[in-house]
Structure 1
Amino acid sequence: MNSEPPEEANAFWAQKSALEQRYQVVLDRVTPHATERWIFTGVVLLIYFIRVFFAQGWYIVTYALGIYLLNLFLAFLQPKFDPSLEMDMAADAVEEGPMLPTRSDEEFRPFVRRLPEFKFWHSATKSIVIAFGCTLFRVFDIPVFWPILLVYFCILFTLTMKRQIRHMIKYRYIPFNIGKKSYGKSSFK
C-alpha cells in the first residue's frame, strides 16, 4: 500500500515537472551560443582537474571521465552512417543490379555526425559535473597508482585516434569545416 497521500505524490511530480521545464528553458537559451558553452565546459573541467590535483585522489573517477569523454569525442567525429558499411552494401547491390550514384562528385552528401555537437557538449558537461560530485565522497577515492592509468589512457587515446584518422582518410570524410568551401553567410541564425 502507498503510505503517501495522493496530494503529496502529485505535488512531487508537479515540482519535478516544473524543474524539468526550467532546465529545458535554460538549455534552449544556451543552444545558439556554442563558443560560450564550450568555454564554460572548459572552465568546469579545469576546476575539476584543480580539485583532483590538490586533493590527490579520485584517479579512478578521472580515468572513467577521460574514457567517457573519449567515447563521446569519437562519436562526434564519426558519421551517422558508416561509409565502410555502405561500401559493403554497395558491393552487394552491384551484383543485384543498377543503383543510384554514390561517388562524391556525382551527388552532394553532407557530413551528418553520429553525435551532434549540442548533445556532445551536454553529455560532456553533465559527466564532468557528475565526476566533480563524486569527488565530494571518499567512497569513490579508490587508491591506485595513477601514473599507470595515465600511461594507459594516453596509449588508448593514441591508438584510437590513429584508427579513427585512418578511417577518415580511407573513406574521405572531414568532420570539421576546416578547408571546406564556404558560400557566404547564411541568413538563418
Structure 2
Amino acid sequence: MAMESEAGFADFVGQWSPALLRVAFLLTGDRGMAEDLLQTALLKTSRRWSRIADHDAAYPYVRRVLVTTYASWRRRHRVSEVLTDRLPEQATADDVTAPGRAVAALDGLPPRMRAVIVLRYYEDLSEADTAAALGCSPGSVKSQASRGLARLRIELSPATDLVRHREDAP
C-alpha cells in the first residue's frame, strides 16, 4: 500500500471503526467475535483499498464485507457451545428490559434474517440498499424482515416472559 493510500485507510479505520464494531456486535452477539469479524473485514478491505474509487463512500463496502464474512463464519461454525462448571444465575425483573435480551433474541435468528434486521433497522438502510448489501432481491429483504420482526416480537413479548417464568418455577 502506498503511503498516501495507507494514510487514507488509517483515517477511514479511525473514523468508522466504532460504527462498524456496533454492526459487527449486532451480527455476532459477542464482543470478542465482533472484534474478530471487524478485524477480518478491515484486513480484507485493506488489501483492496487502492481499488476503491471513492474512499469517502467505503463504509457500505466494508459493511458488506462484514455481513458476507459473518455469513461465511456462521456456515462454517454452525454449532458453538460454551461449557461452564456453573449454572447461570436466575434472571431478575430488571433483566427483562436489558439490552442483552434483544441481542439474545437476534442471536436466535438465522444469519441472513439477522443481517436483514441489522441492516434495515439498525443501519437504517432502504430495502433496495439492504438487498444490494446482501446480494439478494428486495422481495427477499421484505420477506426476511417481516419474518424476523415477527419472531423478535414473539421472543421479546411480555407473554413469552410469563411462559418462561412458569416453566422455570419449581
Would the TM-score normalized by the shorter structure come out above 0.5? no
Q: Which has the higher contact order (CA 8 A, sep 6+)?
A: 1
Could you tell me the TM-score, scaled by structure 1's length?
0.25
Report the structure, 1 or 2, having the larger helix content.
2
Q: Of the two, which has the highest radius of gyration?
A: 1
